[in-house]
Structure 1
Amino acid sequence: MGGTDPRGEGGTGQGPAPDDDLSARLKRLETQIDRTRPPAAPDPSSRSGTSGGPSSLGIAMRLSTEFVAGVLAGGFLGWGCDRLLGTKPWGLIVLLVLGFAAGIYNVMRVSGYFPATDTKKDPTGS
């Protein structure tokens, strides 16, 4: 052969094994890369700043649910009043409008447009 065989004379394996040398070089290279590599940037999918609060989609679903619940409650109460009292369209119309207004009020209250009212009584009595 041409004498370039790393196993030594006649292929007896007297020299260093190529796999051992390659593994050692690979480990040295990995440690050098780890030392020079800057720390990894935080994952953009993780929301460390908003982990405590609700998501935008959750807020939107709550607001729409508050509105729809007010309108549906007014509609059903109006329909029930019309059935019981015999005031065919007027109970439904009046209570549907009141349900619409209640839905708007609930959306404004939940979104923070109105300041929160303190339900606790002042212990000093003033």
Structure 2
Amino acid sequence: MSGNDPRGKDGTGEGQPADDDLSARLKRLEMQIDRKRPAAAPDLSARQDRGQPSSLGVAMRLSTEFVAGVLAGGLLGWGCDRLLGTKPWGLIVLLVLGFAAGIYNVMRVSGFFPAADTKKGPPGS
């Protein structure tokens, strides 16, 4: 038998250690196990990096950018048709321009185009 057996030499259990001793041994064993156990990987699902938006947020922004461009073009075309009396042509032209603007916005937001440096002054200054 091992030296960790709480029973006495005759196996009757007369030599049982006190509860304090068992608790101390249990705590010591837990500490040894914790030291040898590798550190757990951080749970990324519970804590998102504050600097990076979630993929759902990015998808919603991209779709909103596209839909906003198309709707703005359509509404401006409809308004021009009502004011100028050019029935379908203002709507068609500005709807196509709104579609192109929506595509451009999606490409700009997704990082396809480099960000414009707005901190520069006018050229030649």
Query: What corresponds to 1:118 in structure 2?
Result: 117
Letter in 2 for 1:28: R
Give the share of equivalent positions with the same residue, in percent.
68
Normalised TM-score (structure 2): 0.71
Letter in 1 for 2:86: T
Q: Distance in 2 between matches of 1:124 and 1:35?
A: 69
User: What does residue range 45-84 of structure 1 map to in structure 2 within 5 Å?
Assistant: 45-46=45-46, 50-84=49-83
Structure 1 gap ranges (5+):
7-17
Letter in 2 for 1:76: L
User: What does residue range 100-111 of structure 1 map to in structure 2 within 5 Å?
Assistant: 100-111=99-110
User: What does residue range 10-29 of structure 1 map to in structure 2 within 5 Å?
Assistant: 21-29=18-26
Q: Distance in 2 between matches of 1:27 and 1:86?
A: 91
Q: Distance in 2 between matches of 1:123 and 1:98?
A: 30
Normalised TM-score (structure 1): 0.71
CA offset at residue 101 of structure 1? Answer: 0.2
2:23 paired with 1:30: no
Change (3 A) 1:123 1:88: closer
Q: Distance in 2 between matches of 1:124 and 1:93?
A: 41
Structure 2 gap ranges (5+):
1-11
Deviation per CA, 1:87-126, whole angstroms, max 9, x where unpaired? Answer: 111111111000000000111111111122223216863x
CA offset at residue 51 of structure 1? Answer: 4.0
Q: Paired residues, what number?
A: 109
CA offset at residue 86 of structure 1? Answer: 1.4
